[in-house]
Amino acid sequence: MANITELQQTVSQVRRDIVRMVHANNSGHPGGSLGCSEYLVALYFETMKHDSNFKMDGKGEDLFFLSNGHISPVFYSVLGRSGYFDVAELATFRKINSRLQGHPTTHEGLPGVRMASGSLGQGMSVAIGAAQTKKLNGDDRIVYSLHGDGELQEGQNWEAAMYASANKVDNLICAIDVNGQQIDGSTEEVLDMGSLEAKFTAFGFDVITEKEGNNMEKVLDVLAEAKSRTGNGKPICILLHTEMGNGVDYMMGSHKWHGVAPNDEELANALAQNEETLGDY
Amino acid sequence: MKKYPYTETKDTRSGFGAGLVEAARKNPEIVGLCADLTGSLKMNAFEDEFPERFFQVGISEANMMSMAAGMTIGGKIPFTGTFANFSTSRVYDQIRQSIAYSNKNVKICASHAGLTLGEDGATHQVLEDLGMMKMLPGMVVINPCDYNQTKAATMAIAEYVGPVYLRFGRPKMPVFTPADQVFKIGEAVMLNEGSDVTILATGHLVWEAIEAGHILAEMGIDAEVINIHTIKPLDAEAILKSVKKTGCVVTAEEHQMNGGLGDSVAQLLALNNPTPLEMVAVNDTFGESGVPALLMEKYGLTRTDIVKSVEAVLKRK
């Protein structure tokens, strides 16, 4: 049984890591990272079976692919906090000669990353490929992926979705970070995608909507529910409604913090709102 | 000029199909992906023999490339199959991020490259693919010359770990290389030792280079003819050694002058041993519909064009 308090404490530390990493470079993407903190902590600290002694092939492990690579701060923090590498390395984020590139990559050999991402729209296809290989290998673990809602404007997602349902890729759980924001404004203003639930259902997914994607209990529940529905002939989609910038009041719900770093004063304010629970890096 | 007798003509894409089946029999990790062109890519035999290892992705090449990258995680060796333009320009970003930058063991197998695609016209006659692919760090780029060599190359890339672009085509070409050849990636094949000029050819133009060699011999010109089946990594040692002897070079390829074999050779020579060079290639233009042989003639990619270029380069020696 999950210890909700412990997981929430981890989330608090992850949020500190995110704002500190972005502040230190005056670059990076805090908004989406903060909004997905509960989801990634739930995956890595509770839901997934995985080995921080990293092996690229991941045989016998659940796999995670981050398609919206710009939220690398949350990914790096969670990988570091789960033991893939020393959290001290978070200080090298976006700096020269670092394994923590602006967008995740395998190129510098950072443990925990299996595919470069950043150019949007490719992760669902990648996850499907990995899921197909698991089936060929008789490996019954699950492949998880995370995508931005704005990212769904890339057409490749729908090629992938069509393939996944036609080929019953039912060991796949794709989560969409529905925060309703993208760089130029709200997703509704920039390019209204209509009902994502109707779209994914029409594309043959088993769709689960979670309205409270920043509520740890609800996130754990929706992941357990999604997991229980694998193996039934359909790929699974979690529409995870989150708040961009969640956990830092002045960033919450605004697209303005998609890719902007806090200044010194704003950093102090953000840190005051998130307790240091596991020790800052 | 050495003679290369042959008894049959075959398409290089069939060499790919045959090589894929043979490689797959040896290595159970090989999987095939195809974007609705199974017959054109000659992947039917693979599909029939290994249905559980064949993935029909439909007309969605972007999905195919990224899926192939994902399939390597867990040890599979994916071979993707579609036309050369859909294997490169259409999916360049997918290849760049998920295959090249991520260093995944994917084999991008591309048919119907170049003008010899013929009647379908310029939309499908990609002449920029070698350039696009060779610019990607870590990408191996191979363009074999006949059925046997394409088959051998297909089997060789299955053994090699890393991303590879393998280019072949539709027309039936003389089968003149040995059926039992061992294909060595990055190792040029000497077809005729000569002393007056070096002819470096790739793909379908290798046969034209051999024919040009015979014409030149009758003219009293002793041509060294080398098959550059691997554009990247380029066999710099073989090329520089030959050029040192002959003092001038002609390159021949079914590709744009920009970005092709000639371009790679020019760079190599400029940096190491500046030497007169002429290029037989498409000169900054798109193709068009037509019978392949007539297109090759119109766009200057025949044995006659190679001979003319040799005459021109000899004057510059």
Model pLDDT for residues B10-58, shown as the tens digit of each residue:
999 999 999 999 999 999 999 999 999 999 999 999 999 999 999 999 9
Cross-chain residue pair A159–B73, CB shorter than 8 Å? no
- Give the nearest chain A residue to B62 (CA atoms): A156
Q: What is the distance between the alpha carbons of residues B14 and B143, in angstroms, rounded to a whole number?
A: 14
Which of A125, A128, A172 is the mutation pick for testing B, counting most B CBs within 10 A? A125
Residue A146 bridge partners (DSSP): A66, A175
B62 with A125: Cβ contact below 8 A: yes
Whether B98 sits inside 8 A of A57 (CB atoms) is no
Neighbouring-strand partners of residue A147: A176
DSSP A64-117: EEESSGGGHHHHHHHHHHTTSS-GGGGGGTTSTT-SS-SS--TTTT-TT--S--
Pairing of strands B197-201, B223-227: parallel
In angstroms, the CA A228 to CA A14 distance is 28
Q: With contact defined as beta carbons under 8 Å apart, do B87 and B61 qualify?
A: yes
Residues from chain B that touch A116, judged by Cβ atoms under 8 A, are 97-98, 101-102
Q: Are B162 and B140 in contact (CB under 8 A)?
A: yes
A206-210 and A236-241 strand pairing? parallel
Residue A253: what pLDDT?
Answer: 81
Out of A102-111, A249-258, B174-183, B208-217, which region has the weakest mean confidence (pLDDT)? A249-258
Which of A116, A130, A166 is closest, CB to CB, to B70? A130
Statement: residue A2 has pLDDT above 80: no
| Distance from the B52 Cα atom to the nearest Cα atom in chain A, whole angstroms | 8
Interface test with A, best of B53, B61, B73 (most A CBs within 10 A): B73
- What count of other Cβ atoms lies within 10 Å of the Cβ of residue B205? 31
Q: Which pLDDT band holds residue A254 (cuts at 50, 70, 90)?
A: confident
- Average model confidence (pLDDT) for chain B? 98
* Check: complex ipTM more than 0.95: yes
- With 90 as the cut, is the pLDDT of residue A272 above it? yes
Flag whether pLDDT at A141 surpasses 80: yes
Q: Tell me which of A136, A143, A151, A171 to substitute to probe the interface with B (most B C-beta atoms closer than 10 Å).
A: A136
Q: Mind listing the pLDDT tens digit for each residue in A22-60?
A: 999 999 999 999 999 999 999 999 999 999 999 999 999
Do residue B62 and residue A156 have CB atoms under 8 angstroms apart? yes
Q: How far is CA B95 from the centre of its chain?
A: 18
Residue B12 CB partners (closer than 8 Å, separation 6+)? B144, B145, B146, B147, B149, B150, B168, B169, B173, B203, B204
Chain A residues touching residue B64 (CB < 8 angstroms): 125
Identify which of B66, B72, B103 has the shortest CB distance to residue A107: B103
CB contact under 8 A, B102 and A115: yes
Residue with tokens 């200080």: A91
Q: Check CB contact of A202 with chain B, cutoff 8 Å.
A: no
Q: Hey, are the CB atoms on A122 and B60 less than 8 Å from each other?
A: no
Q: What pLDDT, in 10s, does the model give residues B145-179?
A: 999 999 999 999 999 999 999 999 999 999 999 99
pLDDT at A255: 84
**CB interface of A with B, residues 45-84, below 8 Å:** 56-59, 63, 65
Q: Which domains does chain B have, with CATH numbers?
A: 9-174 (3.40.50.970), 189-315 (3.40.50.920)
Written as one letter, the residue type at B28 is: P
| Contacting residues for A87 by C-beta, under 8 A, at least 6 apart | A17, A77, A80, A81, A281
Asked if A127 reaches chain B (Cβ–Cβ under 8 Å), the answer is yes
Q: Which residue, chain included where needed, has tokens 């709102």?
A: A273
**Residues in B lying within 8 Å of A, measured between beta carbons:** 31, 52-53, 55, 57-58, 60, 62-76, 78, 93-94, 96-98, 101-104
With pLDDT > 70 as the criterion, what percentage of chain B qualifies?
100
Which pairing describes strands A172-178 and A143-148: parallel, antiparallel, or unpaired? parallel
Q: At B85, give phi and psi (nearest 5°).
A: -70, -35
CATH number of A4-272: 3.40.50.970
- Global model pTM greater than 0.90: yes
Task: Answer whether residue A145 shows pLDDT above 80.
Answer: yes
Q: Choose among A218, A270, A219: nearest CA to A247.
A: A270
Residue B316 token pair: 């510059």
Contact (CB<8Å) B53/A126: no
Mutation pick from B55, B63, B104, B139 vs chain A, by most beta carbons of A within 10 Å, is B63
Give me the DSSP letters along B140-181.
EEE---SHHHHHHHHHHHHHS-S-EEEE--SSEEE--S-TTP
Please tell me which residue of chain B has the smallest CA distance to A60: B74
Q: In 3-state terms, chain B is what percent helix, strand and coil (to 5)?
A: 40, 20, 40
Structure confidence at residue A1 (pLDDT) = 60
- The whole-angstrom separation of Cα B168 and Cα B170 is 7
d(CA B168, CA B145): 8
* Mean pLDDT, chain A, integer: 97
Question: Which residues does residue A237 pair with via DSSP β-bridges, in sequence order?
Answer: A174, A207
